[in-house]
Amino acid sequence: MPVITKADVKTPSITIGGIEMSCHGRQIQITLERTPSMDTWCSKGVTGKLVNAFFQSWGVDGTEAVLRPLVNSTVEIIFNPGGEAVIASVDNPIVRGTAIVPPFDFVNVEPGDDDQGVTLIPITFSFIEGSLEKTIDDLAYTPLA
């Protein structure tokens, strides 16, 4: 039986509109959804979402200062599970897609939160139909379906 290579996502990289956002959050999820009404003879209609829980911060390099100006803008999102300096490979597929940055909460905290006032802002980015793709060699991208 072959040895299974486990996904290693200890220090991933996520860039939104060319801005590295990995240190701003702590949870990421990319989901796919088939949209049969968008099927063609050449491809299946697939769309996806990226959900990331960002720490709210208001400093110069904080989430507020970096992401708020991008709200309602179309941006490229790149997820590299191995980190910014790791190249794409079979063991480290890189995913990219185009999404519109949605409006997000300014603050989201309750009294007695365990994080002692640290605010996590969940943001869901919906990828534009057909834009979600992956590469295993940094050269050719294929639709993520």
Please, what are the domains in the chain?
13-138 (2.40.30)
* pLDDT value at residue 32: 84
* pLDDT value at residue 118: 67
- What is d(CA 40, CA 30) in angstroms, rounded to the nearest whole number? 24
CB atoms within 10 A of CB 94: 21
* pLDDT value at residue 40: 62
Q: Mean pLDDT score of the chain, rounded to an integer?
A: 83
Query: Which pTM does this prediction carry?
Result: 0.83
- What is d(CA 78, CA 94) in angstroms, rounded to the nearest whole number? 7
Q: Confidence class of residue 31 from pLDDT cuts 50, 70 and 90?
A: confident
Which residues on adjacent β-strands are paired with residue 15? 20, 78
In the predicted model, is pLDDT for residue 13 greater than 60? Answer: yes
Q: Say if residues 46 and 33 touch (Cβ distance below 8 Å).
A: yes
